[in-house]
Chains A and B, each alone.
Chain A
Amino acid sequence: MTEATLPLQPGAESVERVQAQSALMRVVKYSSLRLFALFITVVIGVYLTIMIANMGGYVDDIKRGYIREQVALSIGFDPTLKDLTAEERQAYMSQRVALQEKKMGLDQPFMVRSFRYLSGALILDLGWADNMISDSGSRQVRLIILERLPATLLLFATAQFLLFFVSLFVALALSRNYGSVLDRVILALAPTSAAPSWFYGLFLILVFSALFGLFPFGGLVSAPPPDSIIHYSLSVLNHLILPVAAIVVSAIFLSIYSSRTFFLIYSSEDYVEMARAKGLSDRAIERRYILRPTLPTIVTGLALGIITLWTGSIVLETVFNWPGLGRLFYLASNIFEIPVIVGSTVIYAYLLAITVFFLDIVYALIDPRVKVGGNEGGRT
C-alpha cells in the first residue's frame, strides 16, 4: 500500500562532505539519533493502539480480570483463610480487589491510566491471556508472543535474503542487456506484484501440495517432530519452501523491475561513459559506478518492501498454518483474546521500527552524504 520514500532521504543541502568526523563516529551519532526518534515514534504508535483498544474499556477489562484472578489465587492458597464462609470469603475478595485496583490506579481518570498502560505495553507486560496458552504452558502474554517470534523471523529473514540478492543480481543482468526477451518478460510480469503473498500462497498450495503432493500443506515441522536435529531441520526446510516461494513470487518482479530501472538510469550517466572509455571492465564499472550510487535507493525500496511484508505476513502465516506472530494474531482476533491482540500490535510496531532502524544504519554506511541534522557546518 505504501510506496514512495522513507524518511531517510538526505536533504539537498547535505551534499558537502564531512571530513572531520570518522565514518564510525558519523554512523554512531546518526544511528543513536535515529534510534531515539524511532523510539518516540513507537511510543506514539503504541499509545494510539492503546487508545483504539481501550475505547470500549477493553484494556481496563484486561487489568480487572488479571487482578481478580491474582486475588482469587492468593486467597485460595492462603491456609489462614480456609475457615471463612463463602460470603465472608466473597466480601474479603472484593475488598482485596478494590484495594488492588486502587493500587494499580484503575480508579484514576483515563488520561492518567493510559500512560500506565503505555509503559506496560512497551515492555509487553500485558498480563495473562484468557484462553490462549504458549507451547510451554504459560498464559503470560509476553511469553505467548515471544515464543512465536522465531518462526516469523525465520520465514521472513529467509524470504527477504533471497528476494534481495536474487532481484539485485537479476536486475544487474537485465540492465546489462536490456531489451532482451527475458527483460521484456519480467517487465510484463511486474504488475503481478499487485497481489499479496498469501494470494500466491493459495496457488502454490493448490499446485504443489494438493495436486502433486510435493510439499506439505502447511505448518512448521511434520508431526510428530523428528528427533534428530538434522531431520528436524530438513523437515522445517521442507515446510519453509512454499511460504518463502509465495513471498518471493509476490514481490520479486516488481523489485527486479524497479532495481533495473535505477541501474539503467545510472548507467547512462556521464561518469559511466567515461569509465567505459577508459576501458574498465564491465564488472568494475558495475561495482564502482552503478551499484554504489544506486544502493541507497535500492535499500529504501527494500525497507518499504519489508514493511509491507511484515503486515502481509499475518495472512500468509494463516494460510500456511505457520506458527508465527501473524497466525497468533489471527487466532487471537478470532477468539477475542484482547491482551494478545494488543501485544501483537505492539510487537509489530517494534518490528517495523527495528526494520527501519536497521536499514537506516545500512543507509548511513553506504551513503557518505548522510549526515545528522544540525551538523551542516562540516566544511573544513
Chain B
Amino acid sequence: MIAARRTLAALSKYPSAIAGLGIIVALVVFSVYTVIAIPYSEAVRMWRGGEGVWLETPRNALPSWVNLFPGVNRPETVILGPNEEVGGQSVTKTREEVSEEMTDVITTFTFDYTADTFPQEISLFLSAEFDQKRPLVSITWLTPDGREIRVADVTVEGPETVRFSQEEKLQRRLDGVNPEIGLFADPASEGEPVPLKGTYQVVAAGLVFEEETEVDARLVVYGQVYGLAGTDHRRRDLTLALMWGTPVALAFGLLAAVGSVVSTLIVAAIGVWFGGFIDAAIQRITEVNLILPVLPILIMIGTFYSRSIWVMLGVVILLGIFSSGIKGYRAIFLQVKESPYIEAAQAYGAGNFRIIFLYLIPRIIPVLVPQFVVLIPSFVFLEATLAVLNLGDPVLPTWGKVLSDARVNGALYQGHYYWVLEPAALLLVSGLGFAMVGFALDRIFNPRLREL
C-alpha cells in the first residue's frame, strides 16, 4: 500500500504519466458505464440485428457534431410516427367520408427542412388493418412554395414500405432527378440543385372501403448525420460499437497482459529454482516459441476452430507463456536465488513452492510493473489486428470490427473518414494512455534511465 502510494507520488512528477492515468481512469469509468447502460445481451442483439433493428437510421451517416463546424449544415433524420410531435414537426390524422362505401383516412406530416444539403432517402412505412378490401393510399408531396407533387399510389396489404427513391414514376415526373433531390430542390436555383428551406408536408390519403379499416403511416426522411458517432453500412449506430469496444479492449488487453506476464514469471521462477533439466527444457522451449509465428497460428485457430474473443485470449496467453521475457526474469531470479533470506527460508524448512511463490516472485514485481503496463496496448491492438483480419469475435461489437467493416467497405475510398477515424482515435488514445504510464513507471523503477 505504501509502495503504491509512493509510486503514485513519483508518477505525479511526470506530466505524461498524469495524462496517461487520466485516460486510463476515464476509459475504466466509461466501460463500467457502458456495461451497466447497455447490457451484454442487448448490445449483441442490437449489433447483430441488421436492418430490422436499424430501420429508421440513415446509412453511412456522419456524426451529428459535424454540423457544429462553420458552413456545414447537413440534415438530421426526421421521423414522424402516428403520435409524435417535436418542434415544428407534427402529424395529424383525419377521417373524411367520401361516399357511403368509401372513407378517406388522411395522415398529414408537417416538418421544417433547414439543411443546406439533401437528405439521403425518404421512406413511408404503411400498415393497415382491414377485413377484405385493401385500402388504397395515395401519397402527395407539398413543398413550401406551394407545389404539389404526386408521389405514388399504393394498395396496402401487409406492412408496406414506400421508398421514394425507388419510385420510377416519381423520378420521371421529376425529369429524371433522384426523388430525394428533386422533391427538395429549389426550382429557382440554377446549376447545382439547392434545397428549398421551409415547411414541407406529406399527405398520405388512404382510401378505405370498410368502416373499420385503419391505415397507419410513418414517415422517415433519412438525414446525413446521426447520433454522436454516425452509422455504418448496415445503418447501425456506431456509438454502440465504440462504447462496447471499450470494456472489450480493456478486458482483452488487461487479461492477456496479466495472463502472459504472470505465467511467464512463474515458469521462469520454477526454472531457476529447480535448475538442471527443468531449467534447460524451459530455455529450449522459449527458443522454439520465439520462432513460432504467433499471428499465423492465431489466424489458423480462428479459421479452423473458433473466433470467440475468449478462445483467442486463451491462445494468446498460451503462446505468451514461454515468451522472450523469461530470459530477463531468469537473470534477476538467478541473483535473488543467492540472497541470504532464501537460504534462511530453506533453513527453516520452507517447501519449494512456498519459496517460489512467497519469496522469489514478490521480489521481481517492481521490475514487472512497467513491462506489464507497456504490454497492455499491444494486446489491445492485437484484438484490433485480429478483427481487421476478419477474425474478430463474431457477436461482440469492438473497435477493431468497426475498423474492419470500414476498411472492407471502402470507407477510405468513398470518403467516410469518420468511420475509420473514430475507432482509430479510441485505439490510439487508449494505447497512448497505457504506454505513457508504462514509460514513466519504467523510469521510476529503473533509476538508471532517470538520469538520462
Contacts and interface: CB of A to CB of B under 8 A. Distances in A.
Interface of A: 1-7, 9, 37-38, 41-42, 44-45, 48-49, 52-53, 55-56, 58, 178, 188, 190-196, 198-199, 202-203, 205-206, 209-210, 217, 261, 264-265, 304, 307, 310-312, 314-315, 318-319, 329-330, 333-334, 336, 341-342, 344-345, 348-349, 352-353, 356
Secondary structure type dominating chain B contacts: helix
Q: Which of A6, A38, A315 has the most CB of B within 10 A?
A: A315
Interface stretch (B42-50, B108-116, B120-128, B420-428): B420-428
A353 B300 contact: no
A196 B412 contact: no
A307 B291 CA distance: 8
A136 B438 CA distance: 49
Contact of A4 (B325, B377, B431): B325
Interface stretch (B211-219, B269-277, B385-393): B385-393
A203 B436 CA distance: 21
B382 interface: yes
B293 A217 contact: no
Given A198-B388, A261-B449, A3 B324 contact: yes
B161 interface: no
Contact of A315 (B325, B389, B415, B438): B389
Contacts, number: 173
A53 B431 CA distance: 33
Interface stretch (B95-103, B138-146, B301-309): B301-309
Given A55-B304, A314-B295, A334 B288 contact: no
Interface string B387-427: 01111000000000001000100001101010011001001
A102 B144 CA distance: 83
| Size bin of chain B's contact surface | 35 or more
Contacts of A45: 288, 291-293
B328 interface: yes
13 contacts: A1-B320, A53-B300, A55-B304, A191-B439, A199-B424, A199-B428, A202-B407, A206-B420, A261-B449, A314-B296, A319-B407, A342-B300, A349-B292
Interface of B: 16, 283, 286-288, 290-297, 299-305, 320, 323-328, 371, 374-375, 377-379, 381-382, 384-385, 388-391, 403, 407, 412-413, 415, 417, 420-421, 424, 427-428, 431-432, 434-436, 438-439, 448-449, 452
A6 B289 CA distance: 11
A202 B412 contact: yes
Contacts of A1: 294, 320, 323, 375, 378-379, 382
A315 B291 contact: no
Contact of A329 (B299, B326, B371): B299
A52 B311 CA distance: 14
